[in-house]
Amino acid sequence: DTGVSQDPRHKITKRGQNVTFRCDPISEHNRLYWYRQTLGQGPEFLTYFQNEAQLEKSRLLSDRFSAERPKGSFSTLEIQRTEQGDSAMYLCASSLAGGPDTQYFGPGTRLTVL
Amino acid sequence: GQSLEQPSEVTAVEGAIVQINCTYQTSGFYGLSWYQQHDGGAPTFLSYNALDGLEETGRFSSFLSRSDSYGYLLLQELQMKDSASYFCAYNQGGKLIFGQGTELSVKP
């Protein structure tokens, strides 16, 4: 399968712990996006990269969140000092810049903060 | 501000046609996308309109009117497997801004 993959698929953590998620985009895609989705809502944009450069970060993203894409391939999203409000599905998507720039989503990582 | 509005729920019967409307308000607009999401699954791309008019992909069609800030998704020959949430989203300089989604229930 050459689609977007995410790891882990599920994460349960205690409040105050740090968590890190990984996303592997479609190999030829140079853009990579992170979104967060809570029950009954649409995905909410967090940040995106073009190659290794982080081009935009949502103002809603607190300083506890950081994302990297060091070699322009996979990306990691770290949440420090997790809070119960961080419980959500974290979705990664990738696209090829230019043209319709259609974004293809991975299966997501479901985070539960106890 | 920026926002999208779509109905929260739609119910239809198998074999019927259903239209899901989406209105948007934004200062920057590149195009309107539609995604399908089954319970517990990832959003799956359905269709994209950058220009006014109708785009057809099999049983699904999508329409955009930029002057009216309005679009719709048309699903024909509904099947039970079409029961899912459908999101409209506009592209804004790379990122997608999603509506809250329309939950479609297809009844036998």
Segment A79-93, tens digit of pLDDT: 999 999 999 999 999
| CB-based contacts of B35, cutoff 8 Å, min separation 6 | A105, B43, B44, B45, B46, B86, B87, B89, B98
Across the interface, of B44, B95, B101, the residue whose CB is closest to A48 is B95
Contacts of B91 in chain A (CB under 8 A): 101
B94 — pLDDT class (breaks 50, 70, 90)? confident
Nearest CA in chain A to B87: A42
Nearest in space to A58 (alpha carbons), one of A31, A38, A33 = A33
Q: What is the DSSP letter of B82?
A: G
Rounded Cα distance, A2 and A25, in Å: 9
Residue B40: is its pLDDT beyond 70?
A: yes
More confident residue, B67 or A99: B67
Contacts of B42 in chain A (CB under 8 A): 91, 105-108
Across the interface, of B31, B87, B96, the residue whose CB is closest to A45 is B96
Q: Do A33 and B48 touch (CB under 8 A)?
A: no
Nearest in space to B2 (alpha carbons), one of B90, B86, B93, B81 = B90
